[in-house]
Structure 1
Amino acid sequence: MSEPFEREDVRGDLHRPDADPAGALLLTHGAGGNRDARLLLRAAEEFAAQRLLVLRYDLPFRQRRPKGPPSPSTAERDREGIASAVAAMRELCTGPLILGGHSYGGRQSSMLAAQRPEVCDGLLLFSYPLHPPGKPEKARTAHLPDLRSPCVFVHGTRDPFGSPDEMRAALDLVTAPTRLVLVEGKGHDLAPDRSEAVPLAVEAARATFGFCDRAGRP
């Protein structure tokens, strides 16, 4: 179950764990979606069951209009929206905070973390858009060496935004601990209802970030 969450310019849905939260997870969407994307819904449910307080939220560009992609000129505003969501969650939970999302949302989260390393304690990035499809020369890697928090990347082996080998090479640029979780045969959407993407993400996140499960086990 979730409950609507609004605070200043943050709009989303909050998933509370059954026990006191061991930490917090923020999840936001890709360029063509919103906070109700099936991947985010399932991930929020699974991670709340692992004692995390989870917020699914819309980026500022999606709050301004219900459809259509973001503009490069407003990417900084989207990162400000992510920072606002972090501040709101810090007021609700004192444990570690993991920042993440799908595709564009994950990329902007990682860029914010590179600019402001103190903003989060870890990154969980689904289908990081390493480059536009068919354009590997336009790699979106400039900020990766500046990441300081542990990172989990969950990626389909058939994702046109980056092959497994390209992802491995990109992760070598990150000096913080990284973990690449490959979802065999899946594309950019990760087919959350037909794959193990979310359970694999939970397992990798627990191993990387060290939060406890519903029984209190690390």
Structure 2
Amino acid sequence: MTAAAHTPFRGEGVDGVLQRPDGPVVAGLVLTHGAGSNRDALLLRRLADALIDHGVAVARIDLPYRQRRPKGPPSPSTAAGDRDGIVAACALLRQVVGDVPLLVGGQSYGGRQASMVVAEHPDVADGLLLTSYPLHPPGKPERARTEHLPDITCPAVVVHGASDPFATTDEITAALDLVAGPVRLVEIEKTGHDLKPDRSPAVDRAVEAVLTHLLGRRPPAGPD
């Protein structure tokens, strides 16, 4: 595995950690967390550790609501501020990585906010990575969060657990048909909303999709 430096990633409205490969940087990724978590969530750490081995610099950030308090869920009234924090993080990472593709995404709530960012501001990022997109509250499919999906024009990768109560595979497939840009859905069998990053192929398959679908690079070589 490529060695990586872990450094603070901070700016106006931005607080996180940057993992940068010890070698050429081929892309940058701003990655953020779900509603009850933070930048040190296991899935985010596993994704970052895997992607830096392929030259992707990853900034794992705490959303502004998490910066204000260490625990507790976000408030709908401050969601716009969380999106502002993602925009600021993307701008900061562009300064760090230079003229390479910049991706943005996150787990659950963080991914939803990132998807709204690229819908509202298409120039903020060149690709989108969503893990466990919370299509609707569990048991309430009539409350689908799809209004902004037709405004997403960049390539997107969506990693979905087959047992996720926030969306069935059929529901997420139908929702992604609304997205204007090219989408790859990666379904992980026998997993729910947390994707079990230590016990499922979610991270490996997400990395493969990021490299091939978002960055147009060759897929990682499999084991001999």
Give the CA RMSD over aligned residues: 1.4
Which residue number in structure 1 is paired with residue 162 of structure 2? 157
1:13 to 13, 17, 32: 17
Which residue number in structure 1 is paired with residue 55 of structure 2? 51
The question of whether the paired residues in 1 share the 8 Å contact of 2:197 and 2:203 is answered with yes
Superposed displacement of residue 214, structure 1:
11
Segment of structure 1 superposing worse, 206-215 or 64-73: 206-215
2:39 to 17, 35, 39: 35
Distance of 1:31 and 1:209 partners within structure 2: 25
The question of whether the paired residues in 1 share the 8 Å contact of 2:136 and 2:166 is answered with yes
Is residue 194 from structure 1 mapped to residue 186 from structure 2 by the alignment? no
**Residue identity opposite 2:109 in structure 1:** Y
- SS of residue paired to 1:155: strand
Gaps of 5+ in 2: none
The question of whether the paired residues in 1 share the 8 Å contact of 2:212 and 2:219 is answered with no
Is residue 3 from structure 1 mapped to residue 26 from structure 2 by the alignment? no
Corresponding pairs, count: 215
Is residue 170 from structure 1 mapped to residue 175 from structure 2 by the alignment? yes
Is residue 182 from structure 1 mapped to residue 187 from structure 2 by the alignment? yes
Which residue number in structure 2 is paired with residue 210 of structure 1? 215
Distance of 2:53 and 2:210 partners within structure 1: 13
Superposed displacement of residue 20, structure 1:
1.6
Superposed displacement of residue 207, structure 1:
1.3
Task: Give % identity.
Answer: 57
Moved over 3 A (4+): 211-215
Which residue number in structure 2 is paired with residue 24 of structure 1? 28
Question: What TM-score do you get using the length of structure 2 for normalisation?
Answer: 0.93
Distance of 1:174 and 1:18 partners within structure 2: 35
2:109 to 104, 112, 115: 104
Superposed displacement of residue 198, structure 1:
0.6
Which residue number in structure 1 is paired with residue 147 of structure 2? 142
1:130 to 128, 131, 135: 135
**Residue identity opposite 1:56 in structure 2:** R
Superposed displacement of residue 196, structure 1:
0.6
Distance of 2:218 and 2:50 partners within structure 1: 10
1:83 to 87, 91, 98: 87
2:122 to 109, 117, 123: 117
Distance of 1:173 and 1:213 partners within structure 2: 28
